[in-house]
């Protein structure tokens, strides 16, 4: 079965009730490719607003969740809480969580396990820093991060991997199609060797890192790029263009 293209919009720490109302109206009026799965991820306090307002063929994701269902964890949000308000997806392991908030590979693995158990679909993020790429450690890093997630996953049906080279996030630098495809191919090969050929063939691998309306169609042509996790451009009208990138092929 061909893998369904998926595009996620990570709004990060951006937006207001007013600006997100405008953004959602743009999505609702957009001519979106029906063959693409689309997920948007506003900040926690706007999740319910966006979920209720956005068209039904666009899903909504949390940007994070904790590895416990409840308890004395001030400031955290549980996967069960996201499910309770109708959220289907969560982004876990984003490089900003790893770098700024010092989340470890093991912590992210536990979060993925708990989110899946709670019934959420997961975008699991992996990716290397610039110095790691320059030292030819890209594969070593992404495999280490992926292995920490994989050991907690028995059913990959609701997992999408998001490869996001840290040096390309929000910098305007983009991995070339060849660079991105090479890593995606390595990830799929690792899944085939360590998990199964079936999982490797079925699991979608998104690319993230300064994706925009100008480069999306070119990146989408690569064999192992199954979608995009979009940051800044998801807050702009060009997000519709990115969602339709596959249709231009």
- How many other C-beta atoms can be found within 10 angstroms of the C-beta atom of residue 153? 19
The single residue of 114, 132, 164, 184 carrying the catalytic annotation is 164
Taking alpha carbons only, the member of 186, 191, 190 closest to residue 175 is 186
User: Which residue in this structure is represented by tokens 């519709």?
Assistant: 240
CA atoms within 13 A on the CB side of 47: 22
Closest CA to 62 of 70, 185, 46, 53: 46
> Is 114 among the catalytic positions?
no
Q: What is the DSSP secondary-structure string of 122-145?
A: EEEEE---HHHHHTT-HHHHHHHH
Buried b vs exposed e over 82-96: b needs ≥16 C-beta within 10 Å?
A: bbeeebbbbbbbbbb
Catalytic residue, candidates 80, 94, 96, 114: 94
Specify whether 152 is catalytic.
Answer: no
* Residues noted as catalytic: 94, 164
């Amino acid at each position: 079965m061909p893998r369904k293209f998926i595009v996620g919009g990570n709004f990060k720490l951006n937006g207001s009730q007013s600006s997100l109302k405008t953004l959602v109206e743009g999505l609702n009026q957009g001519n979106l490719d029906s063959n693409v799965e689309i997920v948007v991820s506003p900040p926690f306090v706007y999740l319910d607003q966006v979920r209720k307002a956005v068209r039904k063929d666009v899903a909504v994701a949390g940007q994070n969740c904790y590895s416990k269902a409840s308890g004395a964890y001030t400031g955290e949000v549980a996967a069960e809480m996201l499910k309770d308000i109708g959220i289907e997806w969560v982004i876990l392991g984003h490089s900003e969580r790893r770098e700024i908030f010092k989340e470890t590979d093991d912590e992210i693995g536990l979060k993925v396990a708990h989110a899946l158990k709670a019934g959420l679909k997961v975008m699991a993020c992996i990716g290397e820093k610039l110095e790691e790429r320059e030292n030819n450690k890209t594969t070593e890093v992404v495999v280490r991060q992926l292995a920490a997630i994989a050991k907690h996953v028995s059913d990959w049906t609701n997992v999408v991997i998001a490869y996001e080279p840290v040096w390309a996030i929000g910098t305007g630098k983009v991995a070339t199609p060849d660079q991105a495809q090479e890593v995606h191919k390595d990830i799929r090969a690792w899944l085939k060797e360590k998990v199964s050929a079936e999982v490797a063939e079925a699991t979608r691998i998104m690319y993230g890192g300064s994706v925009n309306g100008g480069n999306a169609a070119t990146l989408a042509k690569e064999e192992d790029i199954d979608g995009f996790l979009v940051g800044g451009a998801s807050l702009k009208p060009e997000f519709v263009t990115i969602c339709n990138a596959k249709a231009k092929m």
